[in-house]
Amino acid sequence: MPLQLRHLSGDRPGDLAIVDAVLRSHPTFGRRSLYHPTDAALFMRSASMPCTPEQLQVFAVVKRGKVCGVAKVLLHVPDARTALLDLLMIQADATGQGLGSEALEHLSVKARRWTGINRWQLMVLDCHTRAQAFWRAQGFQLTRIALEAEGPEGRGQGATVHWMERPLRRPSSARSQPPCRSTGRGSVLAPQRPQ
């Protein structure tokens, strides 16, 4: 059964429980997050950047009928042609199965239907090196590094944030990229030469 995205409004019974279960699967999330509250109701209505309720989209990531993650997208933020991927979190017991990559591609299909959107943008804390590597592997490139003073409502201690972006692309173009191999220089990857 393919992965599905289910829109969460927070008004339907069970929506908050879905978000709460995913957030609780990562016990250090609240301590490591600059912007995202760990309370499910607040999570459903807050974002890392100012936006209207219509711009804020939250989805459950569902595989084989089981919720395995959540995604939060801000439409036309920070500008009219951008969808800000505010959060993509896969439940702790489901990581390492390719669900994050699969969810991103499903979100990209959805994003191509949103009027005027032609690129993704996201923020990753400087200390989250594994997340930075994941997003680079998904085709995101670093566009700037900034010191963020604090999160919304005065939360946060300030942190260095890596802004990354990638154009929306068709899944076929993602599959046409050459396979990668390790170059022996840490986590740097290089295209393989045809044999």
Element (H, E) at 166: strand 159-167
- Give the residue ranges of DSSP H helices in 12-128: 15-24, 29-32, 40-45, 99-111
pLDDT in tens, 136-155: 999 999 999 988 755 444 44
Q: Tell me the C-alpha distance between 167 and 165, whole Å.
A: 7
Contact 164, 134 (CB under 8 A): no
* 4-191 maps to CATH 3.40.630.30: yes
Judged by DSSP in three states, 176 sits in: coil
pLDDT in tens, 16-42: 889 888 888 876 665 445 445 557 888
Spatial distance between the Cα atoms of 137 and 51, rounded to a whole number of angstroms: 28
**Encoding tokens for residue 151?**
């999160």
| Helix (H), strand (E) at residue 142 | strand 141-148
Q: Break the chain into its structural domains and give their ranges.
A: 4-191
- 68-97: per-residue pLDDT in tens? 999 999 999 999 999 999 999 999 888 889
